[in-house]
Amino acid sequence: MDAKDQPGQPAIALDTVSKRYGAQEVVHDLSLAVAAGETLALVGPNGAGKTTLMKMILGVTRPSGGTVRVHGHDPMGTGTAALRTSIGYLPENVAFHGAMTGMELLAFYARLKGEPVSSCAALLERVGLTDAAKRRVRTYSKGMRQRLGLAQALLGHPRLLVLDEPTTGLDPTLREHFYRILVEQHTAGATALVSSHALTEIEGRTDRIAIVKDGRLLVCGTLDELRAKASLPVRIRLMVDPGTAAAVAERIGNGITLSKVNDRTVDLHCLNGDKMTVVRRIGELGQPVNDLDILPPRLDQVYAHFAGEEETS
Amino acid sequence: MKTVLVLALGEIREGLRNRWIAASIVLLATLAFALSALGSAPMGTVNANALSVSVASLSSLSVYLLPLIALMLSFPALVGELERGTLLLLLTYPVARWQIVVGKFMGHLGILMLAVCVGYGVPALVTGFQGDNGWVGWQSYLAMMGSSVLLGAAFIALGYVVSASVRERATAAGLAIGVWLVFVVLYDIGLLGLLLADGDQRISPTLFSSLMLFNPTDAYRIFNLMGSGGASLVSGLAGLAEQVRISAALPLAVIALWVVAPLAAATALFYRREV
């Protein structure tokens, strides 16, 4: 490693990166920076180029154009051993050698990373595989194999975690467990790049979200920033005294879109910027309104807004 | 170096675990026992001791079997890991691509050595002491074992070339069988055809033995038949080796070349591979 890491230097910096396989362009002029210690979600339809992007960051695939820097280094350059040691990767589909036990496999990867084999037991414990450590991987369930994959990614306290659809095939409990580990890593200062299709899970669990489609970065920012950019309406639901719904709807009516009215509830939506005005007006209504819920657009709606357009048209 | 060793040991451990080694040992040992039992028949009448006869018969069967074992061991090496997704993972580790090839090679070579040493060694120890073999018999038997490992190494390396050049395990398997057919069967048939076609004997014995030497399996045959004096009594082909005086080191060097060149080619192919 030549240069020392500079403070404030992004953990990952992609600058107009492109990747072609033959005539097919999988990644197109993509620029993206991930700050050190940040958790970034990479979302997008299948074949959007997420995995290719990860491979370029991991130094397995050379970009056709542009530059990739990880902690200031070219991951495809020479002398990247130290850089690689500091990265943990969980591939999307990994089938470990079935004849080996979980412990043996983890020990193998630990040796390759120059980590003491004695650290493996604690790691297996952390992902909840202690009881299965001496069983052959062939007998593992999908969730257990995924946890073994996570254990190897956590070897040697990586500064950067690259996780390709880490929660597919996991049951809700395991997913929770997985995100708990991710939070622990985040607290410890690790950067994480997580790709996922499970949008509801990612919401609130990552710092920023990057939406990728057809090898292009559509948008990147915090969920609030994405909501603002999408200018999707905020839904407001009023719970009213039985029978007064129609009257309430009539009184707030002007300038606000009513989406649904029934006996006890009134659903309306407005732009995020108008939210406070609307809430004040509702406040003036007084008694018939018992309660209200404000539902900002969810990530899946934001995602559909950015990535779904072309599919619907 | 440590990385290469970790990879090699991992390979050997897998070989022990999935009973590859056990199966190869049983196969080779059965063959060696069977042949030494058959070999007792000519021993009485011909002036050759048991081990020398074993060398002749074992080496002429090893020529078919060892390349097959070696190819079966090596063809999935890279493409199998590619399919499983472990190759991608491995490449994100501080491991260079050449280290993967060399590490796997060392591991597979270790497996083959173990199989040959036990599979051929134990039968020799059991039957060898029954007859009056002398040092010469042992020497040629040991030389046969050593050259068998070398021959296996060449086909392990050839298997990697196959493994590094295709994307699917099934394709690699087909190609591996093709490699075996060409080197073990078709090449010799071609040479025989050449001889038959060559009515006016324009092909000199030197050219012919050079052509023969070029093939690692024939080089192995020549080495083992000329190595044991007794063997030439029971094998007609050895006459050829005796006709053209060559040093015993030459066939070994040819096989060694067939180890190094494919290994280099496989590494080069592997570096160009998109994972």
b/e map B78-108, b = 16+ CB within 10 Å: bbebbbbbbbbbbbbbbbbbbbbbbbbbbbb
Does the complex come out with an ipTM higher than 0.90?
no
- Cβ neighbours of B14 in A, within 8 Å: 97, 99-100
Model pLDDT, residue B229: 52
Model pLDDT, residue A273: 80
Q: Give the closest of B13, B93, B274 to A21, CB-based.
A: B274
Task: Name the closest residue on chain B to residue A156, using Cα atoms.
Answer: B93
Who's near A113: CB < 8 A, 6+ residues apart? A85, A155, A156, B93, B94
**Rg, Å, chain B Cα set:** 20
Q: How far does B237 lie from chain A, in Å, by closest CA?
A: 44
Q: How far does B274 lie from chain A, in Å, by closest CA?
A: 7
Task: Look at A113 and B94 and tell me if their CB atoms are within 8 Å.
Answer: yes
Task: Look at A84 and B85 and tell me if their CB atoms are within 8 Å.
Answer: no
Q: Element (H or E) spanning A90, and its range?
A: strand A87-90
The one-letter amino acid code at A293 reads D
| Chain B contact residues (CB < 8 Å to A) | 2-3, 6-7, 10, 13-14, 17-18, 84-86, 88-95, 274-275
Model pLDDT, residue A286: 77
Model pLDDT, residue A252: 74
Q: Give the closest of B18, B84, B275 to A99, CB-based.
A: B18
| Chain A contact residues (CB < 8 Å to B) | 21, 55, 58-61, 80-82, 84-85, 87, 89, 91-97, 99-100, 104, 108-109, 111-114, 152, 162
Domain boundary assignment for chain A: 12-86+158-228, 233-296
Task: Look at A99 and B92 and tell me if their CB atoms are within 8 Å.
Answer: no
Model pLDDT, residue A312: 43
Task: Look at B94 and A96 and tell me if their CB atoms are within 8 Å.
Answer: no
Who's near A244: CB < 8 A, 6+ residues apart? A288
Task: Name the closest residue on chain A to residue B10, using Cα atoms.
Answer: A108
- Cβ neighbours of B87 in A, within 8 Å: none
Which has the closest alpha carbon to A11: A35, A38, A27, A39? A35
Fold of A12-86+158-228: Rossmann fold (3.40.50)
N-terminal to C-terminal alpha carbon distance within chain A: 49
**CA-CA distance, A241 to B113, in Å (whole number)?**
86
Helix axes B76-84, B134-165, angle to 10 degrees: 40
What single-letter DSSP state applies at residue A161?
Answer: E
**Could you give the angle at the alpha carbon of A228 between the alpha carbons of A224 and A229, nearest 5°?**
115
Q: Give the closest of A60, A92, A104 to B92, CB-based.
A: A60
The pTM of this model reads 0.87
What single-letter DSSP state applies at residue B145?
Answer: H
Which has the closest alpha carbon to A299: A202, A183, A178? A202
Q: Give the mean pLDDT per block of 10 residues along chain B (275 residues).
A: 93 88 90 75 52 80 93 94 93 95 96 93 77 73 92 97 95 96 94 84 81 91 72 49 68 95 97 88
Task: Look at B88 and A60 and tell me if their CB atoms are within 8 Å.
Answer: yes
- Cβ neighbours of A97 in B, within 8 Å: 14, 84, 86
**CA-CA distance, B74 to A78, in Å (whole number)?**
29
How many beta-carbon pairs below 8 A join chains A and B?
A: 65
**Residue labelled with tokens 């120059």:** A114
The one-letter amino acid code at A95 reads A
Full pLDDT tens readout for chain A, 313 residues: 444 556 678 999 999 999 999 889 999 999 999 999 999 999 999 889 999 999 999 999 999 999 999 999 999 988 888 999 999 999 988 889 888 999 999 999 999 999 999 999 999 999 999 999 999 999 999 889 999 999 999 999 999 999 999 988 788 998 999 999 999 999 999 999 999 988 888 888 899 999 999 999 999 999 989 988 888 888 888 888 887 777 777 777 666 777 777 778 888 888 888 888 888 888 877 777 888 888 888 888 899 888 876 544 3
Phi, psi of B129 (to 5 degrees): -80, -10
Would you mind telling me the total number of residues written for chain A in this entry?
313
Task: Look at B94 and A80 and tell me if their CB atoms are within 8 Å.
Answer: yes
Fold of A233-296: Alpha-Beta Plaits (3.30.70)
**Residue labelled with tokens 């946890």:** A147
Model pLDDT, residue B271: 94
Q: How far does B58 lie from chain A, in Å, by closest CA?
A: 33
Task: Name the closest residue on chain B to residue A58, using Cα atoms.
Answer: B92
**Rg, Å, chain A Cα set:** 24
Helix axes B50-74, B20-45, angle to 10 degrees: 160
Task: Look at B86 and A95 and tell me if their CB atoms are within 8 Å.
Answer: yes
Would you mind telling me the total number of residues written for chain B in this entry?
275
Query: How much of chain A is helix, strand and coil, in % rounded to 5?
Result: 35, 25, 35
**CA-CA distance, A197 to B115, in Å (whole number)?**
48
Phi, psi of B269 (to 5 degrees): -60, -40
What would the two tokens of residue B201 be?
């004997």
Residue A260: beta bridge partners?
A267
- Cβ neighbours of A163 in B, within 8 Å: none
The CA distances from residue B213 to A59, B222, B248, in Å, are 43, 8, 12
Domain boundary assignment for chain B: 2-272
Which has the closest alpha carbon to B260: B144, B105, B78, B145? B105
- Cβ neighbours of A73 in B, within 8 Å: none
What would the two tokens of residue A22 be?
């033959």
